[in-house]
Structure 1
Amino acid sequence: MSAVGSLNDTMGAAFIGMEFACFLLGLSFLQAYIYFSEQHDTLAVRSLVGLVVLFDFIHQALISHTVYYYLIMNYGDSSALGLAVWSLLAEVLFNGFTAFCVQSFLTWKIWRLSNSNIWVTGVVAALVLAEFGCVLAFGVIALVRVRTFAELANDLKGLSITVNAFAAAGDVLIAAILTWLLQTSKTGFQRSDTMLNKLTIFAVNTGALTSLFAVASLISILAAPNTFIYITFFFCMGRLYTNSLLASLNARKKIRNGGDNVHTTTGHNFSFQSRSFTKPSSFISFGSKKQQEISIQIDTTQELRAQDYTKSRTMSKQDEEYELGNSSNLSRADIDSTVDIPVHPSEAHFNAV
């Protein structure tokens, strides 16, 4: 144990990290159950969720074996405390697999939201791949060469610092870019803007927790290199990725339903509310190849109908027919007119999240 500190600072910290990771695993299983029960995504997304939950389960088994090995199987054996058990080294790989899957999914969202901007997506993808490459290198080298904690500290300390640094930088960058893309997608429709604001909160939360733990792990390595305090944070990082992913996926329905209750008033007396429409020829298309539609129900008010009735008495029959034709029959009493309003892709970016 010459390369590490006391039992309290080493296995005690690892035990605390294992307990927190176990709690977060329970939350992952609960959210996964809700996801597979209520969500109907593509096979690729559902497979992604299944993979990250599986990786979390394997990771939990490995860290549980680590703690059991040191504190139960070799209780009181000081010589065993200086050896690096294989499960402690292998868990790094599965933590990295989970982080890579979730960060890749977020990178794909950036690709869609940025309209396939290769430069923005490329920077994020480079950080994600760099972190994953360092994780693979750390795991392979550790399993092949490392036998004691002294060797682990001497040979892989720099690589461990690099992994945490890339993780923190990647998570902060992903959260910042998603926030920027979502906020710059606003075009004035209150329903879509409300949903974009809520999605922004989830984007920030997704990167905030994981980057916070990565930074805490990095600081712990630098400030207390002879302890396992950093392991307390590192054990939980994979769970945070999984829980953030599942929380954002499960919240989509509530976010959309929340937008349905938003009313927007424009012009004189038009009340806008979410539902379906048939497309009138009088609406102007933005001309985008990726044109999408947002559903809005237009309910005319009594005041507008009264104004139209008064005005119609002073108009000729030909003028009245012309106005009614160009207003898409919005002033017909007791009828909810429905129209499909073409929206620029930036207004429907919440569909890509």
Structure 2
Amino acid sequence: MSASQSPIPLDNTMGASLIGVICASVLYGVSCVQTWYYFNHYRNDVWYIKSLVGAVWLFDTTHQILISHTVYYYIVTNYGNPNSLGHLVWSILLEVLFNGFIGLLVQGFLALRVWRLSNENIPLTVTVVALVLAEFASSVAFTVKSMRLQTWGELGQLKGLSITVNIVGVVADILIAGALFFFLHRSRTGFKKSDTMISRLILFTVSTGFLTTICAVASLVSILVWGHTLIYVAFYFGIGRLYSNSVLATLNARKSIRGLGEEDTDELSFSLQSFSKSGSKPMTSSRPTNLSIKIDTMQDYESRDSRQQEPESAATDGSFH
């Protein structure tokens, strides 16, 4: 979370918090619809994907309740009571922890995709995981320390820690999005439909990573430039909602994205047979992993369909082995 630097005139800047809650509420409504859609269309998913969706929705709901309580406390409960504006309400401090939980789950899920798409690149994966854990640890530390404080002025003591949370989050998002973009782009097979599927995955990766990064940067800049206001919360309140919607959108798009790649399965199989008979190499040495990635993906689809289970493409659990 982001902390203020000095006593905050809440009577002048609580409007920013209200805007943040309204925007977060809209995004929460979208995530609820996406969660409902997921459990109605992907009932045969493996248990850990279902658990991920359930946990993200639960933390999302808790976070929405907390930030709504914060604004209600200052604007409604203590309306006309200016003395209460200088004191911290517990809900705005505790919401940091649940935003951290959402980030941990979603970024951890994306780290698993990086691990699989990179052919189990240990240095890269360790770096990503370290950043994800550092961001979560910073959120926990901020929550624990801030719960002991009483006023907004005292919260300024945690300025360094709040900035750290935002910076680490930005770096982690950029690294994850960049890694996924690189490995997905390298996985192109040369077949039109398959490349269209991969392009769609790249679009999802870049767009979702871009939105969360922009929101975190805006929150960070707001602290540094307008640290005496609550403008930063208009951005920070929405970060967790963007995380949850990004992972839900990716999971719910699996069938449509998979369909793009399955259309050229026959073309790929014919080409492989031709390569086998002629003894020619199907791919150049500059892209040695592309063919194996596509083959494994197709085999994964076929084996899962034969068991009447939902397929898990790289858009979901990073099944590009």
- Please state which band the TM-score falls in when normalised by the shorter chain: 0.7 to 0.9
8 Å CA contact 1:260, 1:274 repeated in 2: no
Q: Which residue of 155, 166, 169 maps to 2:168?
A: 166
8 Å CA contact 2:16, 2:231 repeated in 1: yes
RMSD: 2.9
Q: Percent identity at matched positions?
A: 48
User: Relative contact order, CA 8 A, sep 6+: which one is greater?
Assistant: 2
CA–CA distance in structure 2, aligned partners of residues 21 and 92 of structure 1: 14
Shift of 1:103: 0.1
1:66 is the counterpart of 2:70: yes
1:152 is the counterpart of 2:119: no
Change (3 A) 1:235 1:283: farther
- TM-score normalised per structure 2: 0.83
Question: Which residue of the partner structure matches residue 201 of structure 2?
Answer: 199
Question: Which residue of the partner structure matches residue 29 of structure 1?
Answer: 32
Question: Which residue of the partner structure matches residue 337 of structure 1?
Answer: none
| Larger helix share, 1 or 2 | 2
CA–CA distance in structure 1, aligned partners of residues 52 and 262 of structure 2: 29
Question: Which residue of the partner structure matches residue 141 of structure 1?
Answer: 145
Tell me the secondary structure at the aligned position of residue 272 of structure 1.
Answer: helix
1:78 is the counterpart of 2:82: yes
Question: Which residue of the partner structure matches residue 130 of structure 1?
Answer: 134
Question: Which residue of the partner structure matches residue 267 of structure 1?
Answer: none
8 Å CA contact 1:260, 1:273 repeated in 2: no
| C-alpha distance after superposition, 1:93-149 (max 9, x if no partner) | 001100110000000010111111101111111111111110010011111x21110
CA–CA distance in structure 1, aligned partners of residues 168 and 204 of structure 2: 21
The letter for the 2-side match of 1:23 is: V
Q: Which residue of 174, 177, 193 maps to 1:175?
A: 177
Structure (1 or 2) with the larger CA radius of gyration: 1
Shift of 1:262: 5.6
Shift of 1:4: 1.1
Unmatched tracts of structure 2, length 5 or more: 283-287, 300-312
Question: Which residue of the partner structure matches residue 104 of structure 2?
Answer: 100
8 Å CA contact 1:24, 1:239 repeated in 2: yes
Q: Which residue of 103, 108, 113 maps to 1:109?
A: 113
The letter for the 1-side match of 2:267 is: F
Change (3 A) 1:21 1:293: closer
Shift of 1:278: 10
1:189 is the counterpart of 2:172: no
| Larger strand share, 1 or 2 | 1
Q: Which residue of 38, 41, 47 maps to 2:41?
A: 38
1:272 is the counterpart of 2:276: no
